[in-house]
Amino acid sequence: MGEDRLRLIRNLVTSAAHALPGQRTPVPEGVRTAEPMGLGAAPAHAGRAPDTTYARVRVGRHHTETGAPEAFGIEAWCDGVDDLPYTTGGDQLRPGDIGLGHARRGGAAPSELFRSIRRWSTYQHRLTGWINRCRQAHGDALQIVVLDQTGFDLPWEALLLPAVPEAGLPDGPLGALVDLARWLDDFPDRAVAPNGEVLGFFHSDMTRDQEFFHRYEHRPHLGIETFLKGLDDVTAQRTGLVYMGCHGTFDHHLSKLTLAGGTWADYHDLDMRLLDRDAALVCLNACHSGRFLDYNGDGRQYLRGFTQIFLRNGAGGCIVSAGEVGDTEARVMIGRIVDTVTEDPERPVARALRAFRAGVHETFLAGGGVPMMVRDDGSFDAERQRNVLRLLYSLMFQYYGHPLSTVRLTGRHQGGQDRVEAGAP
């Protein structure tokens, strides 16, 4: 292929990437989690399988000799299915190219990222085979919680399961086929059911996100300090959802890990007593809000991230992003996610997210699935690349919480209007 044609294809890839855009059973309220589990000498398979009713997958760093590649190991349990004993190997090295942080403008073509994830998924055949045995045993009732202590940005929601035709099980991404949740430190033992208003913060260029909550009682803020003070106000009405539409950054220096301009340390020093009282669901619509930095610069090594802070302070669950959310396609996705999660207060958050992802996956398949980089005429298939990107975005939003936790938002009184709290826009 001539240099001119190669240059044309590269330009088309870059251009397309820039264009992509009732009554309920009482449930105990949330409880503060323990301090983060260290990542030091304890092997990944240490500890007893927790006594819970959902399937559990624990993922930890596999400690190898000095200078060897970083790797991870997996063990798993599910009622009615043989345990998956601790397993690791050459196919479980730290993958640098499959994190959903790569699903972004100017990044690799979406089809290339999807194919990388598909190859990685085939390497995890022991785990995917075990999950399929769980699907056969429990059908649509299966729930899985992943406790990932690696900090490797492993995209479990996008793990591609093979079909089991004889059992009527389709193939597809784990997050679209099974109720999936994540957690930190240890497996969750209690579901929560937060009930109340929306407490929101909106950066000046994301104020349109307020439209997501026009049906609900809402306390929006345009100033970050005022908003964070609101998280300490236990005289306020009960809060069902805390939402932040803002910018986030991820870096390998802790001081550059930011959310709405505040550093990780700024948030770490807050009490957030409102969360402890209400066990509210937290939704962080911010780039990289779900990523973790392995850090030991202050003398203690553990994974630092904003999800960890909100859960530690009492949040009943968190919906966060594993990558960038700045373009139009990602904004549309988060709006649809909010609608799906909040429209039925009796449906668990994990099941609502699964239903949302399943719908996007169906559209993906109807649109032709994964395209080649070029068509017969040598042109770049931008529309089908967008189709892949939409699926990746739907899998990029992760849920930390108990798989049975729900959220009920207070409906807006007739004629009621938002009262924007003080704070500079």
Buried-exposed string 280-297: b where 16+ CB fall within 10 A, e elsewhere? bbbbbbbbbbbbbbebee
Return the structure tokens found at 136.
């056969």
Q: Determine the pLDDT at residue 406.
A: 96
Largest CA distance in the chain: 69
Cα–Cα distance, 184 to 308 (Å, whole number): 7
Q: Determine the pLDDT at residue 417.
A: 59
With contact defined as beta carbons under 8 Å apart, do 301 and 41 qualify? no
Query: DSSP letters along 202-256, please?
Result: E-TT-GGGGGGGTTB-EEEESSHHHHHHHTT-TTSPPEEEEEEE--EE--SSGGG
Q: Determine the pLDDT at residue 358.
A: 97
> DSSP E strands: which ranges in 93-194?
143-148, 160-161, 172-173, 179-183
Count of CB atoms situated within 10 Å of the CB of 73: 19
Q: Determine the pLDDT at residue 102.
A: 82
Count of CB atoms situated within 10 Å of the CB of 424: 9
3-state secondary structure of 340: helix
Low-confidence ranges of the chain (pLDDT < 70): 1-52, 104-107, 326-327, 414-425
Closest CA to 405 of 282, 313, 311, 281: 281
Which residue type does 110 have? Answer: P
Torsion, CA 166, CA 111, CA 393, CA 355, rounded to 10:
-20
**Distance spanning both ends of the chain, measured CA to CA:** 53
pLDDT tens-place string over residues 61-82: 998 777 789 999 999 999 999 9
Q: Determine the pLDDT at residue 118.
A: 97
Inter-CA distances, 207 with 105, 175, 203, 342, 420, Å? 22, 29, 6, 19, 11
Inter-CA distances, 246 with 110, 218, 321, 359, 394, Å? 24, 17, 12, 26, 19
Q: Determine the pLDDT at residue 15.
A: 37
Closest CA to 309 of 279, 342, 337, 270: 270
Buried-exposed string 208-228: b where 16+ CB fall within 10 A, e elsewhere? ebbebbeebbbbbbbbbeebb
Q: Determine the pLDDT at residue 218.
A: 96
Q: Determine the pLDDT at residue 40.
A: 31
Which residue type does 218 have? Answer: H
With contact defined as beta carbons under 8 Å apart, do 200 and 243 qualify? yes
- pTM for this prediction: 0.86
pLDDT tens-place string over residues 199-226: 999 999 899 999 999 999 999 999 999 9
The DSSP code for 409 is E
Q: Determine the pLDDT at residue 376.
A: 84
Cα–Cα distance, 189 to 348 (Å, whole number): 15
The two counts, helices (H) then strands (E), for the chain are: 11, 19
Return the structure tokens found at 419.
């009262």
With contact defined as beta carbons under 8 Å apart, do 291 and 250 qualify? yes
Rounded to 5 degrees, φ, ψ at 358 are: -60, -40
Q: Determine the pLDDT at residue 18.
A: 37
Which residue type does 344 have? Answer: D
Cα–Cα distance, 265 to 112 (Å, whole number): 36
Q: Determine the pLDDT at residue 421.
A: 53
Angle at 231 between CA 227 and CA 234, to 5 degrees: 130
Express the helix, strand and coil content of the chain in percent, nearest 5 each: 35, 20, 45
Q: Determine the pLDDT at residue 381.
A: 85
Q: Determine the pLDDT at residue 379.
A: 83
Beta bridge partners of 147: 58, 183
